[in-house]
Amino acid sequence: MKLRLAIQKSGRLHDDSMRLLKECGIDISNGVNKLKSEASNFPLEVFFLRDDDIPQYVEDAVADIGFVGENVVYEKKKKIDVVEKLGFGKCRLSIAISKGENYTSAAFLQGKRIATSYPVLVEDFLKANNITAEIHEISGSVEIAPGIGLADAICDLVSSGSTLFMNGLQEVEPILQSQAVLVKNEQLSPEQQAILDKLLFRIQSVKKAKNNKYVLLNAPNDKLDEIISLLPGMKSPTVLPLAEAGWSSVHSVLSETQFWDIIEKLKAAGAQGILVVPIEKMII
Ligand code: PRT
Ligand code: ZN
């Protein structure tokens, strides 16, 4: 029994999807022109597909699970479960209008023409705001639509914002925050679910490790209590005596979000020789 995973064949999510599998210790030979590939050391078969097709394949149980952007999942409205956010492919789906125009609320869009590749999500947004507008579905280069007179506004994915900027547009309303997620078929067998649980355990360990750093520092013993109180750690920090009398080595784990804040406080409290080391996996 193998679990069948669909990932993007090529494009923005492909490399990060392959990297995540690698970080989970799963070896897959990445034949660029292959439709599928088998892991040599995990019960997983990987299908390489267009991202837009992944929700349908998972609903139809051609694949059991998939890695795909939330924007695609919610646009396609297939009967599949979103199981886990994967932490890559982050972007937002936003309404944008020409730079010179003044947008104060969604009412701006009343009666306007909106070009997008996401007609379902735009329709949902308009409905929720009681607005009627004309949706022009186009499949690519949405950002040029206002310039050629095809639309008054667009709704497209944005990450850095430079595409909008280069086309004289301004982002005025994010309607969905998106990142790659793991989706699954609604009716996995218990055996399939067991394999998925193993994979999820690994993915969560990789994600936790990425969000945390291992910190080692030297502390004068008379400051130990204060320094330890600053460290959240997994349990309590590890404290080892240094060869030099009156000093200890303290080891702990800090999350990325609190990191700089705590490092500054540690320095102020007298910590020295602070080393910060990436963590590869975190099993807790
Ligand atoms: O061939 P296939 O159908 O599989 O690929 P695709 O061309 O449909 O998709 P692809 O590879 O472009 O994107 C795959 C997924 O990556 C999307 O569905 C999103 O979930 C995610 N993603 C993250 C993005 C972006 N960031 C992104 N910036 N997808 C597209 N863009 C585009 C956007 O459409 C716009 O043209 O990048 C441009 C904007 O980028 P900035 O940086 O200029 O703002
Ligand atoms: Zn696509």
Residues 193-238: tens digit of each pLDDT: 999 999 999 999 999 999 999 999 999 999 999 999 998 766 778 9
Q: What is the best residue among 53, 157, 178 to mutate for testing ligand 1's pocket, by most ligand atoms within 8 Å of CB?
A: 157
* Alpha carbon distance 130, 121 (integer Å): 14
Q: What is the pTM of this model?
A: 0.91
pLDDT on residue 232: 79
pLDDT on residue 31: 65
Tokens of 68: 């795909």
Q: Residues 114, 102: contact at Cβ < 8 Å?
A: no
Ligand 1, atom 19, lies closest to the CA of 69
Ligand 1 lining (C-beta closer than 6 Å)? 8, 11-13, 50-52, 69, 71-72, 89, 91, 156-163, 178
Q: What angle do CA 26, 27, 30 make, to 5 degrees?
A: 125
| Atom nearest to 12 CA in ligand 1 | 11
* Alpha carbon distance 224, 115 (integer Å): 61
pLDDT < 70 stretches in the chain: 30-32, 233-234
